[in-house]
Amino acid sequence: MRNENWMDNSSVRQRLTAALTEASASGKALANFMLANISNLPFETSRSVADKVGVSELTVGRFCRSIGYDGFKDLKERLKDDISDSPWLIGDRLRDLQQKSATDDALARSLGLAVASVVRVYEHAHTEAWNRAAKRIAEADRVFVAGFQTERGLAESFVHMLRYLRDEVQLVDIAGGNFAEVLLTDPAGCTLVLIDVRRYSRQSQLLAAKAAERGMPITIVTDLYCDWAASYGDEVFAVPTDLNLFWDATSGMWTLMQLLLNSVFAHRGPAVEERLNSVASLYESFVGYSRGPK
């Protein structure tokens, strides 16, 4: 039976958001997936959701009833007020690429998923959480950035580009066997940006837990399936990474991080131009550009 405690005017988004902190572990995973993928839920079934999250179909139904719906079908019916039904307009080049991909079902599916991933990134950029994260990264006394396994490359690139905009940006490293630079620092005025995708690094969750325990604000960039991010992140930006390819693709995550850098730039204001020129001048002095200074 459905949970009668939800007999109110709460939207699907509100109920799923509440479930991130109140539900069981499997419920949190389902809520996280549905929130991150809410625009595509009308095209999902309880079986497809169960397969993607790694739970049983019965668990999907039970979760939907726990937040006040008769089942997954009922939840989808109530989504009409939560998501826009405006068409996604595409340009001639994208339409042409779609036509070329039509003869290859796998490639066509990948293209559609890649476009949806980018759309999701830009949806994030219109949220209050986005503005809050960008402002904090722009104004914090010190910014720590962490990414392990293959995500380390994303973290390094983000750090490198962020240093063009501000100082006191540090890549977090486990080489010393601890995270003292983060966890023994006064958290006041500091912030942590954490990047992780499945299979999630043990260090990521431990670092997030310890940093949150100390009261350090955390921005987490992850995929749709991370069931612990909401427990520690002040902001969680979940991006689709399943693009029907052999490996999960983190291209959408990097698009998000570049867009976040753009928002940080806006918050830094006109004074950032002087730093950009200074960093470029230092690069020219020590490394050099192929065509010389501008």
Considering the four listed CATH numbers 3.40.50.1820, 1.10.10.10, 3.40.50.2300, 1.10.600.10, the one that applies to the domain covering 4-81 is 1.10.10.10
| Number of Cβ within a 10 Å radius of residue 239 | 24
> Fold identical between 4-81 and 128-265?
no
Looking at residue 140, what is its pLDDT? 97
Quick one: CATH architecture of 128-265?
Answer: 3-Layer(aba) Sandwich (3.40)
* Domain locations along the chain: 4-81, 128-265
Looking at residue 84, what is its pLDDT? 44
Would you give per-residue pLDDT tens digits along the chain (294 residues)? 556 565 566 788 889 988 998 899 999 999 999 988 887 787 788 998 999 999 999 999 999 999 999 999 999 888 866 654 333 334 555 666 666 666 667 777 788 888 888 888 999 999 999 999 999 999 999 999 999 998 999 999 999 999 999 999 999 988 878 899 999 999 999 999 999 998 889 999 999 999 999 999 999 999 988 989 999 999 999 998 888 777 888 999 999 999 999 999 999 988 888 898 898 889 888 988 776 545
Looking at residue 1, what is its pLDDT? 56
